Structure 1
Amino acid sequence: MAAGSLLALIDDIASVLDDVALMSKVAAKKTAGVLGDDLALNAQQVTGVNADRELPVVWAVALGSLRNKAILVPAALAISAFLPQAITPMLMLGGAYLCFEGFEKVAHKLLHSAAEDAAHEEELATALATNADMLTVEQDKIKGAIRTDFILSAEIIVIALGVVNAQGASFGAQVAALVSVAIAMTIGVYGIVAGIVKIDDLGLYLSRRTGAAARALGGMLLAAAPRLMKALSVIGTVAMFMVGGGIIGHAFAPLHHLATQAAALVADVPVAGRLLAAVAPSVVDAVAGVVVGAAVLLVVALAQKVRGK
């Protein structure tokens, strides 16, 4: 009897693990789009520190991301069980915050003079000259990246939760699937981020090799690294608008319909129709993100002005 019970338990566990693996795979596919935006945002967030501190910063943000998910997984399960109607408003608030953060970056670029930017860069360079100030700069970057990661992780967890709920999974299988997705996404995102920020070091290493092909590749990587880091600043900001606008669009029916209509409108364009149809919803999301970000920044600025008075 005991042996039979043990075998039955093992069979049940094996069945649950099979379901978890399947659901994790489906959920990972569903969240792949968010993963790309997450990658762009977080790579942009951790650039700009001293070269020998890049990996420690990435590691610190990755640990912060795991802590975020350790909070979000049980919170999502609890909210889904006891207050499911709160998930959408909370996601919309998170999306609005991403839009605000993106527009704040744009506004800073547009409203500050070149002299102010130069003074800020000089101040940052001076701060990096001492270890104490360098650690302060690092901590600011880490906190900012973890805040951004929290919102993106929340979207990933909610999407994954929706997938496993649609499968009619048991509570244990839901927990296991969400944990699997959370760990896999964290390792995937921050592993690639670590690779991105160390491209210049790889290029330097290859450029010192004896082989001509290795030196040529190293030179290409060294030339590409600064351009990539500059591009990440732009890509990261655009991603904030796309993700934030997308979160709001999924919850706000008129905006979702507008994105769908935009895709249908350009789908019949010769040659490029399929590509345009795939890109159109993201463009609508990005534009919506800019509008929402501007509105939130205006409200915040007015509130600060009133509070200042």
Structure 2
Amino acid sequence: MSGGLVALLDDVAAIARLAAASIDDIGAAAAKASVKAVGVVVDDTAVTPRYVTGFTPDRELPIIWRIARGSLRNKVVFILPVALLLSEFLPQAMPPILMLGGAYLCFEGAEKLIEAVRGGHEEAAATEARLSSADHEKQMISGAIRTDFILSAEIMAISLGEVASEPLFERALILIVVALVITALVYGVVALIVKMDDIGLRLAQARTGTGRAIGRGLVKGMPIILGALGVIGTAAMLWVGGHIIIAGLADFGWHALEDLLHDLSHGAAEAIPAAAGLVTWLVDTLVSAVVGLIVGLIVAGIVHLIPRRGAAAH
């Protein structure tokens, strides 16, 4: 009896060690996949705060929480099953799907630029003023979750590419870990950014002169930072969308843009070898943003032309 019990305990211990090793492997693979997606994570963090600006302080964290839940639902409920099935049975469908998402990001970025140039933000503000506070909040959350869907799809696709050789079950576990970690990271940072002015107000009432100075600096600086994040968020839509389009065209065998991007970034890096990494990133970002803007303007033109033609026909 005791011998059987000892053998059973040995088996349980062996299973536990195997499970621990598997968890370590999954954690390491998830960390590696997350690092590869860090560029899109930065873009996601830059895009989101603009959906929270203009609300009263008591509504900021609840709105971020609702967007974060929508983001996690995007990744785990919608994107993950489809990505796993496509990677297993129809991998060639991934590039065109990602390109559609990239075109949508380009369209969103181009629309923001058009509104800024034409003063469309005033019309948008008037529309928002006609909405109730609850309706406006719902509209902004829906817009944030729609934009997040594209960025989340890109994050999950990049992560999936890093673990494509893993068995299906482990692939799923790794991507779930990636979804949880990245969502917590992005929306934790967004919450900190959005509430930084409140932290500044509290510090401004501190007893020490240093605390008050830091608090006043945060209060004065946060509107500038939030405004800059809005600009970065719009630019991020264009450069991420443009990069997706360039990579997708290369997958279909049209390498002209990818080759141009490589030649320009490589030439710039050789010209300034002391900052080769930064220069390469800047050139890659700029070219991708230009491509994204061109695609976005084309899509915006088509989207706005269809209603006009429909109205003319009537």
- If the length of structure 1 is used for normalisation, what is the TM-score? 0.91
Q: Output the amino acid matched with 2:230.
A: S
1:135 matches 2:134: yes
Match of 1:88 in 2: 95
Number of the residue aligned with 1:186: 183
Taking only aligned residues, the RMSD between alpha carbons, in angstroms, comes to 1.8
Aligned residues of 1:65 and 1:186 also touching (Cα < 8 A): yes
2:304 corresponds to which of 290, 294, 301: 301
How much has 1:5 moved relative to structure 2?
4.4
Q: Contact 1:46/1:145 (CA < 8 Å) preserved in 2?
A: no
Between the aligned residues of both structures, percent identity stands at 40
Q: 1:223 aligns with which of 210, 220, 225?
A: 220
Letter in 1 for 2:133: M
Q: Which residue in the other structure is 2:294 paired with?
A: 291
Distance 1:51 1:87, change over 3 A: same
| Residues 20, 205 of structure 1: alpha-carbon distance in 2 compared, 3 angstrom cutoff | same
Which of 8, 17, 20 is the equivalent residue of 2:26?
20
Query: What pairs with 1:132-281 in structure 2 (closer than 5 Å)?
Result: 133-165=132-164, 168-253=165-250, 254-270=256-272, 273-274=275-276, 275-281=278-284
Letter matched to residue 25 of structure 1: A
| 2:38 counterpart letter in structure 1 | A
1:264 to partner: Cα distance = 1.0
Is this contact kept in 2: 1:42–1:193, CA < 8 A?
Answer: yes
**Conservation of the 8 A alpha-carbon contact between 2:95 and 2:248:** yes
Find the residue that maps to 1:268 and give its secondary structure: helix
Are the structure 2 counterparts of residues 273 and 182 from structure 1 closer, same or farther at C-alpha, using a change threshold of 3 Å?
same
State the match for 2:86 in structure 1.
79
- Taking the aligned partners of 1:139 and 1:160, their CA distance within structure 2 comes to 30
User: Does 2:35 align with 1:33?
Assistant: no
Residue range with higher mean Cα deviation, 54-63 or 276-285: 276-285
User: Could you tell me how far 1:43 is from its partner in structure 2?
Assistant: 1.8
Q: CA–CA distance in 2 between the matches of 1:30 and 1:184?
A: 14
1:51 is displaced (CA, Å) by 1.6
Confirm or deny: 8 A CA contact 1:266 1:273 kept in the other structure. Answer: no
Which amino acid in structure 2 is aligned with residue 296 of structure 1?
V
Give CA-to-partner distance per residue, 1:246-301, whole Å, 9 cap, x none. Answer: 11111222222221111111112246651322311111101100000001111111
Q: Match of 2:210, as an amino acid? A: A
The answer (yes or no) to whether the contact 2:159–2:175 under 8 Å persists in 1 is yes
Do the aligned partners of residues 140 and 248 (structure 1) sit closer, same or farther apart at CA in structure 2, a change above 3 Å counting?
A: same
Return the alpha-carbon distance in structure 1 between the equivalents of residues 275 and 195 of structure 2. 38
Separation (CA, whole Å) in 1 of partners of 2:170 and 2:212: 50
Quick check: 2:48–2:144 contact (8 Å CA) kept in 1? Answer: yes
Alpha-carbon distance in 1 for matches of 2:96, 2:57: 40
**Residues 103, 294 of structure 1: 8 Å contact kept:** yes
Could you list the per-position Cα deviations for residues 72-113 of structure 1 after superposition, in whole angstroms to 9, with x for gaps in the alignment?
A: 111110111121111110000000000001101111122237
Check the 8 A contact 1:206/1:215 in 2, yes or no: yes
CA distance in 1, matches of 2:144, 2:196: 20
Unaligned segments of structure 1, at least 5 residues: 128-132
* Residue ranges of structure 2 left out of the alignment (5+ in a row): 1-6, 251-255
Contact 2:272 2:279 (C-alpha < 8 Å) held by counterparts? no
Does structure 1 conserve the Cα–Cα contact (< 8 Å) formed by 2:86 and 2:94?
yes
CA distance in 2, matches of 1:171, 1:188: 26
